[in-house]
């Protein structure tokens, strides 16, 4: 009797992607799709401006054929033919490559090759580099153990006629590492104080000079822009992105309205900037004390990044966020803790320090300067302060005011073109939205209400059920870490 052929049951896709409409037969398939196809999608849409619609010329839709008998192919079935997204680039700041001296470059010219006499300098060879990398960075071996290891290594080599090992001692390794110049932005120290007319009775904290440790932002930005690791994940122009449903799509920094408006303003003020690259500077700081100095002040870190790199690069520990300074925060006797004059002095010193740090790039905020970019090409770039990320208490220090107050300090943005502190401050999402609105208000209110109308055990049971529901919610919403 012939065997009966069993046909595979065709699975009907019931789940859909909330972004592109693709169909899936399981939660796992939809999850894989979201991770692979929409890793950076914010899920925030609005209708595209009317003048943008006129610029669109979408490519013809593709027709997909999916065999019904193959459940693997049914794992991801487009709901309808998909069209290509349209990206409208800024028409004036167009990131045209040039030569190192700023002169014009022929179209389609290859980027210049960086001169490199010895790939391993200041190390003698690859072996020395790998040993130093292993002992110093990966193992973080103590100085004594490094010396012991190198002595044993040298003795073993002497049996074969060698007179010395790869390094003499730990100090030899450290000195060689200190000689590395690639990507180096050395720390510098400057003395800062406020130029105020003081009499003999003035408080000591007014007369004191404060140490400000910082890196030259011009060097740091040059290293950031020339980092080849950012190639392919670096936006050279502000842009507007439109999805297949003709909705505006936001993602990375350069897709926002601010970048486009700033580029327009730069070109309107100086049309010789045509063809340059807009480099938005993003600052961030935290009032967390990182160290206590020898005097009566603390150091608080200041960080620098640029808006051109994609969000996944900035979050991916790839050196897209760089410590640029440690700001000195004065301290005084307890009797000055609530002294308005002392509070104003701290704020003004804070702003004066930031202004002094970025003085070296102030000329390049008006006139472009030639810098190497991640793809190897040289381009004219122009810097601009775009955002300052800080928690709410530090935002008050930056703004110098809160609702109902008169400003009592001059912000550092006063010293730089196109910089406005009220435009730079961003919402404190963690403390004001997530923690302030959801945790401190909604969750606390619900918990107090449940304890008021239910017994303790029943209230805890309901709270546990709410926790389980919230945990399952991410499967139906585009929520990612």
Q: Strand 322-330 vs strand 369-372: parallel, antiparallel, or unpaired?
A: unpaired
The predicted structure's pLDDT at residue 293: 54
Cα separation, 343 vs 337, in Å, equals 8
**Residue 106 included in any domain:** no
Greatest CA separation for the chain: 114
Residues 314 and 371 reside in one and the same domain: yes
For 370-392, letters b (16+ CB in 10 Å) and e give ebbbbeebbbbbbbbbbbbbbee
Domain hosting residue 454, numbered range: 432-473
Residues 286 and 164 in one domain: no
Confidence (pLDDT) at 28: 65
On whether both 436 and 420 belong to a single domain, the answer is: no
173 and 254 housed in the same domain: no
10 Å CB burial of residue 136 (0-12, 13-18, 19+) is middle
Q: What is the DSSP string of 167-219?
A: -SSHHHHHHHHHT--TT---EEEEEE-------TTS-HHHH--EEEEEE-HHH
Q: What is the pLDDT of residue 158?
A: 85
Q: Which residue bears the tokens 């842009």?
A: 239
Residue ranges of the chain with pLDDT lower than 70?
1-21, 25-28, 30-32, 34-84, 115-118, 183, 288-297, 316, 402-407, 474-481
User: Is residue 397 in some structural domain?
Assistant: yes
Q: What is the reported pLDDT for 72? A: 46
55 with 88: CB under 8 angstroms? yes
Q: What is the pLDDT of residues 244-301, one digit of tens each?
A: 888 999 889 999 999 999 999 999 999 999 999 999 999 998 776 555 555 555 778 9
Q: Do 404 and 447 share a structural domain? A: no
Residue 302 sits at φ, ψ, to 5 deg, of: -125, 130
Residue 402 lies in a domain: yes
Residue 409 and residue 450 in one domain: no
* Position 384 in a domain: yes
Distance CA 189, CA 167 (A): 32
- Both 131 and 271 in a single domain? no
Same domain, yes or no, for 309 and 340?
yes
CA distance 73 to 67: 8
Q: Are residues 319 and 264 part of one domain?
A: yes
Cis peptide before 122 (omega within 30 of 0): yes
- The pLDDT score that the predictor gives to residue 337 is 75
**Total domains, the chain:** 4
Is residue 97 in a domain? no
Residues 77 and 196 in one domain: no
Find the distance separating the first CA and the last CA of the chain, reported in whole Å: 58
Domain closes at, from 34, 69, 84: 84
Nearest to 363 by CA among 379, 387, 382: 382
Asked if 264 and 151 sit in the same domain, the reply is: no
pLDDT of residue 470: 78
Phi first, then psi, for residue 303 (nearest 5°) are: -115, 155
Contact 34, 27 (CB under 8 A): no
User: What's the helix, strand, coil split of the chain in %, to 5?
Assistant: 40, 15, 45
pTM of the prediction?
Answer: 0.68
Answer whether residue 100 is part of any domain: no
Q: Which residues, including other chains, have CB under 8 Å from residue 288's CB and lie 6 or more apart?
A: 300, 301
Q: In a 3-state reduction of DSSP, which class is residue 342?
A: helix
Tell me, yes or no, whether 480 lies in a domain: no
Q: Residue 5: inside a domain, yes or no?
A: no
Q: Are residues 331 and 440 in the same domain?
A: no
**DSSP character at residue 19:** T
Our separate counts of H helices and E strands in the chain read 14, 15
């Amino acid at each position: 009797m012939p065997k009966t052929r069993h046909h595979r049951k065709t699975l009907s896709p019931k789940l859909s992607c909330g972004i592109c409409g693709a169909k899936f037969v399981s939660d796992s398939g939809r999850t894989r799709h979201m991770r692979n196809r929409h890793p950076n999608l914010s899920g925030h849409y609005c209708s595209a401006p009317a003048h943008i619609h006129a610029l669109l010329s979408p490519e013809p839709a593709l027709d997909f054929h999916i065999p019904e008998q193959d459940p693997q192919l049914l794992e991801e079935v487009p709901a309808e033919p998909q069209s290509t997204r349209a990206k409208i680039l800024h028409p004036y700041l167009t990131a045209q490559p040039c030569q190192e001296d700023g002169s014009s470059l022929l179209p389609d010219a290859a980027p210049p090759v960086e001169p490199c006499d010895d790939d391993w300098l200041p190390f003698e060879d690859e072996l020395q580099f790998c040993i130093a990398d292993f002992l110093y960075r990966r193992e973080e071996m103590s100085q004594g153990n490094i010396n012991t290891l190198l002595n044993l290594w040298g003795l073993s080599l002497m049996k074969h006629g060698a007179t010395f090992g790869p390094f003499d001692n730990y100090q030899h390794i450290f000195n060689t590492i200190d000689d590395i110049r690639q990507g180096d932005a050395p720390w510098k120290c400057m003395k800062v104080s406020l130029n105020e007319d003081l009499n003999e009775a003035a408080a000591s904290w007014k007369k004191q000079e404060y140490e400000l440790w910082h890196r030259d932002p011009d060097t740091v930005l040059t290293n950031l822009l020339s980092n080849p690791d950012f190639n392919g994940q670096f936006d050279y122009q502000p842009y507007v992105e439109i999805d297949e449903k003709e909705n505006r799509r936001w993602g990375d920094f350069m897709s926002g309205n601010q970048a486009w408006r700033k580029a327009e303003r730069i070109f309107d003020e100086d049309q010789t900037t045509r063809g340059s690259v807009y480099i938005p500077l993003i600052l961030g700081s935290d009032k967390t004390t990182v160290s206590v100095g020898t005097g009566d002040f603390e150091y608080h870190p200041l960080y620098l990044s640029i808006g051109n790199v994609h969000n996944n690069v900035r979050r991916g520990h790839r050196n897209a966020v760089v410590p640029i300074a440690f700001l000195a925060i004065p301290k005084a006797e307890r009797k000055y803790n609530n002294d308005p004059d002392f509070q104003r002095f701290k704020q003004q010193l804070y702003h004066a320090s930031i202004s002094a740090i970025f003085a070296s790039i102030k000329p390049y905020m008006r006139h472009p300067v030639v810098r190497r970019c991640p793809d190897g090409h040289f381009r004219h770039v122009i810097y601009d302060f775009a955002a300052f990320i800080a928690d709410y208490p530090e935002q008050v220090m930056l703004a110098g005011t809160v609702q109902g107050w008169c400003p009592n300090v001059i912000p550092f943005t006063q010293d730089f073109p196109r910089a406005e502190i009220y435009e730079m401050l961003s919402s404190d999402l963690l403390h004001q939205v997530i923690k302030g609105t959801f945790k401190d208000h909604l969750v606390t209110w619900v918990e107090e209400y449940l304890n008021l109308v239910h017994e303790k055990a029943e209230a805890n049971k309901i709270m546990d059920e709410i926790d389980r529901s919230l945990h399952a919610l991410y499967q139906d919403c585009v929520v990612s870490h």
